[in-house]
Amino acid sequence: MSSQQNAVDALLIRLGMPEEIPTFQALGVDRIVTLRKMSEEALREAVPDDEKRKSLIESITSRGHLQARRAGPPSGQPHPPRSADTELVRGPFEEGRGGGFAPRGGRGGRGGRGGGRGAAGDMQDGDDSTRVCRHFFSKEGCKYGEKCRYSHDPNDRDRGQELPSGSGMAQRTVEKPAPPQNYKCSIEVEIPTERIKYLLGTQGINIKYINETCSTYNERFDHVDEKDETFKIRMLGATEEAVNKAKELLLLIAGVKREEEKKDRFQYAVNELDANTHAARLFAACNLKNADTPRHLSDSILRNVLSSFHFVRPQEVRHFYMYTSSSDKDKLEMVSKIVSQLSGVQAILFCDQKRVEEMRKGSQRIARHFNGVEPQFVYRQLTKEERLTALEKFKNGVVNENGVKQRLLVTNEDYAKLARKTVIPYVNLVINFSVPRTEEYYVLQSQVTGRHGTVGASFLCVNTYEEAAFRELKENIQFERFEDEDHFRATAVELSYDTVENSLTPETADPPADWREHLNDKKPPQSFGRRR
């Protein structure tokens, strides 16, 4: 066990289950939020003992509130954080989730010091009095049931009805402030609900910054329903320029603008031929219009610029996904089912940068699952000579009994970006060991396969923690699920191979044959129009 305990280790020790720590360390589960996302089947496999598993589930689902509700938190420990339902209704410009500041001298934020006060000014927080759950006495009822931290005692019903609407705890009755009279312009901004947390920040510091910068005011909101996909925020200001500027900052801080740019890059990667053809025609037309003017470009400059464009039609790639655990053993066993249907291995395995170096230590295990083909590893920590040597072995391959030049490369997304602007050795299979960070990276990695008018196959390993990222990929890419050999058999027979008789790898493929002679050459300066 490591000298530094993570949150899961500490929880297991507190529950008297230190023997389970190695199991969760092997699964890579080191955070409580990750532990909560584990499926029931995965948790049963990790903790076979029913009593221990029940104790663990109660601890993570109750969010630590195992003490009796009337007893309050243990001595010396602060009360657990409150959810969005328990936010205090704030006064005008009071600091907190609604944004703004408190004109009064007290501490702002989430309730300030100590607990809230009742309508009569009596303290409702502490050992002598219990907070009342407003939701329990409503028509819908309390979704937390017995695990709710607030009182469900029928004797407290009248006291619960006296609480202000929108609160989950006893608090002061404060009416929502009206916006200043000079705020005559308004605009409604719609953002994904899951990104509210980025917009608010700690104690509403981000939205507070927006209001300060743009001299705006946002309409207050008490509760965000996580079931809704989007959430609307109304910004008010003295001028249209102010509210429009506030909208831009809202979208930027919430990450909406970044998501839109990411989707644009994805669409460009998918439709690169059409986009570049349109851009080249527009570029030539503008230059023709500028004839006999100082802005007219010479033919040599035109050729230099257009040489940086990529005019290759995207190849046909069949996309498959397979659910696996986070362990390499499980993933490689699925790979064996794929490789067993091939006439030879001509593949690239993509994984995270750090994982490439780690997997190099287990190269023999990887080779066993790829029909004994020796893998080559390329990652940033290698010297230039080591990297080019590995790429040369990958390019040459080893001929098997079917005449196929077998080759296997284990690398990261850097090679996929390089493959967009250089000629690479032919491969017909790509294995993505994890879900890439963005759609753009997945497209780049999958399109290194099946070039020269052939069919390629791209497989994506998905575990429980990557489900959300995979759902985003499925919105724009059509995937087929792979569970056994039958799901791949139709595509396997359509794959082409780089053989001795029919070579699909051009002689100009990277690296060049004379790379050793130019190993110590200085890098030429970047020319105008060169692709970055």
pLDDT tens-digit series, residues 172-197: 444 444 555 567 788 888 878 777 77
Between the alpha carbon of residue 434 and those of residues 165, 351, 355, the distances in Å are: 46, 6, 10
The better pLDDT of the pair 72, 55 is held by: 55
Tell me: pLDDT of 373 over 80.
yes
Tell me: pLDDT of 65 over 50.
no
Residue-wise pLDDT for 241-268, tens only, equals 888 888 888 888 777 766 666 666 666 6
Q: Which of 7-21, 109-123, 515-529 has the lowest mean pLDDT?
A: 109-123
Dist CA 6 CA 69 (whole Å): 28
Say if residues 137 and 151 touch (Cβ distance below 8 Å). no
Q: Which amino acid is at 295?
A: R
The better pLDDT of the pair 390, 44 is held by: 390
Residue-wise pLDDT for 467-485, tens only, equals 988 998 888 888 999 998 8
Q: Spell out the CATH class of 316-518.
A: alpha beta
Q: Give the per-residue pLDDT at 130.
A: 62
Say if residues 55 and 15 touch (Cβ distance below 8 Å). yes
Tell me: pLDDT of 325 over 80.
yes
Residue-wise pLDDT for 356-371, tens only, equals 999 999 999 999 999 9
State the burial class of residue 147 (Cβ atoms within 10 Å of its Cβ: 0-12, 13-18, 19+): middle
Q: Give the per-residue pLDDT at 353.
A: 86
Neighbours of 21 (CB within 10 A): 19
Region 209-232 average pLDDT: 80
Q: Give the per-residue pLDDT at 530.
A: 41
Q: Looking at mean pLDDT, say which of 52-66, 130-144, 312-326 comes out highest.
A: 312-326
Q: Give the per-residue pLDDT at 158.
A: 56
- pTM to 2 decimals? 0.49
State the burial class of residue 520 (Cβ atoms within 10 Å of its Cβ: 0-12, 13-18, 19+): exposed
User: What's the topology of domain 185-254?
Assistant: Ribosomal Protein S8; Chain: A, domain 1 (3.30.1370)
Neighbours of 155 (CB within 10 A): 7
Q: Give the per-residue pLDDT at 173.
A: 41
Tell me: pLDDT of 120 over 90.
no
Which 8-state DSSP code applies to residue 399? E
Dist CA 299 CA 293 (whole Å): 15
Residue-wise pLDDT for 374-431, tens only, equals 999 999 999 999 999 999 999 999 999 999 999 999 999 999 988 877 889 999 999 9
Average pLDDT, the chain: 77
